[in-house]
Amino acid sequence: MKKDTFYLTTPIYYVNDLPHIGHAYTTIVADAIARHARLSGKDVYFLTGSDEHGQKIERAAQKQGLEPRQLVDRVVKRFQQLWKRLEISNDDFIRTTEPRHRKGVEDLFRAVKARGDIYLDRYRGWYCTGCESFYTVTQLVDGRCPEQGHPVEELEEESYFFRLSRYQDALLEHYQKHPEFVRPETRLNEAREFVRSGLRDLSISRTGFDWGIPVPGDDRHVLYVWFDALTNYMAAAGYGADPKRFGKLWPADLHLVGKDILRFHAVYWPAFLMSAGLPLPRTVFGHGWWLTAQGKMSKSKGKVVDPVPLIEQFGVDPLRYFLLREMTFGQDGAYSDEALIDRINSDLANDLGNLVQRTLAMVHSYLDGQVEPPDENVLPESASLGALARKSLGAYREHMDSYAFSVGLAALWDLVGGINRFLVKHEPWRKPDGKDDEARRAAVLGSAVEGLRWVALGIAASMPESAETLLELLGFPKKELQAGYDALEWGRWKEKPTRCKRAEALFPRIDKQAYFATPAAASTSGDRSPNSRRNSMDTVPDQITIQEFQRIKLRTAKITAAERVEGTDRLLKIEVDLGDGKRTIVSGIAEQYSADSLVGKMVVVVTNLKPARIRGVDSNGMLLAAGVGAEDRPIICTFEEEVPPGAPVR
Ligand code: ME8
């Protein structure tokens, strides 16, 4: 088979609600894989998108008094904005409400039907709208869905069925011949067990609601949302529309999914494709879950970690690094703010950040900012650092190729440690003893700079922006990253000497004590909408006493000036007048309000909130706002009648 393109996908996420850290996780992992593959010289096609049909979306819209279309149009933007902020380098974003998708679904249905694999019958059983999944009574656990414990409802309706039972043997044979089809191995075993235990035909249409793609030739039915959703992977590749493009991209190399949706990808999807006579994807990787102290994150139970405040608090790259480094890919991982801060402080601030800062400071103190590549004639040990760089980056690449991100990054950090040890051993801070010794010192620092150039390539897939910053700090053009790993040669610089920039903290240290001392509402998320949650998910009591409430000082305040916080989409720096003085507050409402429209408004401010530094701005207080709809749109609290600034609110 041909195919030079490496085609990888994420699940397409339901847009009934806002993205959380689990969605961010899969997408960041996919992005790191895509970037790593590009750096390895592969032609990559990286797809993500949104799953916009089905009863779950229809009901979420009804709850908010919206048409499904209005809801999905709003929520999809929040996903797209988040991917932009997280530096996701997807080549395409498919929405299942697009015509190209619908055409793909209709074509697949017709192909499967032409094979004689579709028939009309009655479905009797249970349906879980949360998972959009059918269950038999024996599969239910305590009357709820066995996957996530969602409530289920009994259905009895006419339905089109797919002859899944026909594919039992073919699936088992495929798992046997291509064990790489489902990874890791434990998930292959799960899929195999599921198939071995016997496959029943699958209901693939519903009649009770409208929000979906009608069954071709029978618009009383809409297609089952999973039949619809899975087809996105082919529709985006040009299935049924552009055979040349489809031939170039299909089959996909990697479907990256969470273990919750493994069965759909490892059993149903290949069966649909076999039926339609199409090649199967190479690998479905089912990764584990991020768990919190309360168990699995669940939107319905409100136990989710919102990535937006984390980005604002800690930065995009540290969050990406943490997610990739902390979780053993494939297994479950425990999320906590503490683990995140510890990881940032140890690996990024202490190990890498300090090394960069120290090296640059010395380059400026001793070499006037200018460095030559390491000269092995002057310093033979430079060659052993070069050997370590090759070994460590080589190991990193191998682990990344096999999706062992955590192990890969640990291997890369061997180089970070090696450069640190190299400096300790050769003591460039020691006063040189004559000209030769001066040259030796320059070669020590040249070796450290060279080592860090290799580290920059190594972090480019996980922390793309920091990789560019690091290269530029070292005095190399950031476009060097585009040349990929293979362009690296120890000590070979296109231009020399390089002029290093002044030392700066690449990854600032987080003051853990101060962070945890901050009251929940002041988690300095910058997300000042009322739904802003402290991500450690401290349990908020159902009731508090009046005395507890009185500890929060609320006052009226007049907005006297507002401007966008530089480099952010959502943050405004707002100056308010409290009658007895002015103060500055950073608020995450820029998507809803322009700076000018706010000036003159009377608002409510929490005045005794611990000050916080947000994106370089000191924020003193918090502005109250309602959080409206699934996308948590902030609407600020104002007054019915004119009030003076500084009046207490209680
Ligand atoms: O299932 N930890 O969409 P969805 C890690 N529309 N990853 C998590 C996670 C967690 N706690 N929670 C969610 C759907 N995820 C369907 C997919 S594909 C044709 C259709 C990630 O919005 C993980 O990748 O419920 C999981 O599979 C996905 O989000 C589910 O997203």
Which of 296-300, 446-450, 594-598: highest mean pLDDT?
446-450
Instruction: State how far Cα 342 lies from the chain centre.
Output: 20
Structure tokens at 252: 């996909």
Indicate if 384 and 250 belong to the same structural domain. Answer: no
Average pLDDT over residues 155-174: 96
Is residue 530, in this structure, part of any structural domain at all?
Answer: no
Q: How many angstroms separate the alpha carbon of residue 258 from the centre of ligand 1?
A: 6
> Is the minimum distance from the CB of 23 to ligand 1 under 6 angstroms?
yes
Assess whether 494 and 550 both reside in one domain.
no
Tell whether 155 and 256 lie within a shared domain: yes
Q: Are 12 and 80 in contact (CB under 8 A)?
A: no
Q: Does residue 318 sit within a domain? A: no
- Final residue in a domain of this structure, among 219, 254, 287: 287
Where residue 632 falls among pLDDT bands split at 50, 70, 90?
Answer: low
Return the minimum-mean-pLDDT range out of 252-261, 391-400, 429-438, 587-596. Answer: 587-596
Does residue 370 form part of some domain? Answer: yes
Residue 454 pLDDT grade (very low, low, confident, very high; cuts 50, 70, 90): very high
Q: What is the average pLDDT value for the chain, to the nearest integer?
A: 91
Q: What is the pLDDT of residue 596?
A: 86
Nearest one of 268, 273, 204 to 237, comparing CA atoms? 273
Determine the pLDDT at residue 520: 41
For the Cβ of 52 lying below 6 angstroms from any atom of ligand 1, the answer is no
Evaluate if residue 568 carries a pLDDT over 60.
Answer: yes
Cβ of residue 51 lying under 6 Å from some atom of ligand 1: yes
Quick one: 493 and 566 in the same domain?
no
Domain finish residue from 287, 309, 324: 287
Ligand 1, closest atom to CA 291? Answer: 11
Q: What angle do CA 283, 287, 288 make, to 5 degrees?
A: 160
CATH code (residue 400): 1.10.730.10
Ligand 1 near 79 CB (within 6 A) = no
435-444: which pairs have CB atoms within 8 A and are 24 or more residues apart? 436/378, 439/375, 439/378, 440/378, 440/379, 441/366, 442/366, 442/367, 442/371, 442/372, 442/378, 443/372, 443/374, 443/375, 443/378, 443/379, 443/382, 444/379
Sheet holding 218-223, edge to edge: 205-206, 218-223, 214-215
Dihedral (Cα; 168, 172, 178, 183), 10-degree rounding: 90
Query: What pLDDT does residue 202 have?
Result: 96
Residues 198 and 100 in one domain: yes
pTM: 0.83
Find the 261 Cα to ligand 1 centroid distance in Å.
7
37 within some domain: yes
Residue 294: pLDDT band (50, 70, 90) is confident
Q: Which of 113, 146, 108, 116 is nearest to 128 (CA)?
A: 146
Query: What single string gives the DSSP state of each residue in 53-89?
Result: -SHHHHHHHHHTT--HHHHHHHHHHHHHHHHHHTT--
Band (631; pLDDT cuts 50, 70, 90): low
pLDDT of residue 614: 78
Same domain, 240 and 135: yes
Percent of the chain with pLDDT over 70: 94
33 shares its domain with 163? yes
pLDDT of 539 reads 37
| Residues 412, 271 share a domain | no
Helix axes 405-426, 382-401, angle to 10 degrees: 170
C-alpha 464, offset from chain centre = 14
For the chain, the first-to-last Cα distance in angstroms comes to 71
Is 301 domain-assigned?
Answer: no
For residue 541, pLDDT beyond 90: no
Pick from 9, 16, 17, 25 the residue to mutate for probing ligand 1's pocket: most ligand atoms within 8 Å of its CB: 25
- Same-domain check for residues 268 and 352: no
CATH number of the CATH domain containing 139:
3.40.50.620
CA of 18 to the centre of ligand 1 (A): 12
- CATH number of the domain that residue 567 is part of: 2.40.50.140
Q: Using a 6 Å cutoff on CB, does residue 233 contact ligand 1? A: no
Q: From the alpha carbon of 297, which atom of ligand 1 is closest? A: 11
Q: What share of the chain is helix, strand, coil (3-state, %, to 5)?
A: 45, 20, 35
| Inside any domain, residue 324 | no
Lowest mean pLDDT among 259-268, 295-304, 620-629: 295-304
Supply angle C-alpha 117, 123, 127, rounded to 5. Answer: 110
Locus of tokens 């749109």: 633
Name which of 581, 587, 590, 593 is nearest 612 in CA terms. 587
Burial class of residue 294 (count of CB atoms within 10 Å of its CB; 0-12, 13-18, 19+): exposed
Residue 549 in tokens:
């409430």
Give the domain-ending residue among 253, 272, 287. 287
How many structural domains compose the chain? Answer: 3
Q: Which atom of ligand 1 is nearest to the CA of 51?
A: 6
Q: How far is the CA of 302 from the centre of ligand 1 (A)?
A: 16
In-domain check, residue 513: no
pLDDT band at 301 (very low <50, low <70, confident <90, very high): low
State the SS3 of 486-519. Answer: HHCCCCCCCCCCEECCCCCCCCCCCCHHHHHHCC
Residues 366, 246 within the same domain: no
Q: In the predicted model, is pLDDT for residue 527 greater than 70?
A: no
Q: Please say whether the dihedral angle defined by the alpha carbons of residues 92, 96, 100 and 103, taken in this order, is positive or negative.
A: positive
Same domain, 267 and 337: no
Asked if pLDDT for residue 540 goes beyond 90, the answer is no
Return phi, psi of residue 19, to 5°: -65, 145
Q: What is the mean pLDDT of residues 287-298?
A: 85
Tokens of 523: 């988690």
Does residue 100 or residue 528 have the better pLDDT? 100
pLDDT digits (tens, 9 = 90+) for 315-354: 999 999 999 999 999 999 999 999 999 999 999 999 999 9
| Same-domain pairing of 493 and 556 | no
Residue of 289, 328, 335 to test ligand 1 pocket, by largest number of atoms within 8 Å of CB:
289
pLDDT interval class at 136 (50, 70, 90): confident
Domain residues for the domain of 91 are 5-287
Query: How many angstroms separate the CA atoms of 157 and 123, rounded?
Result: 5
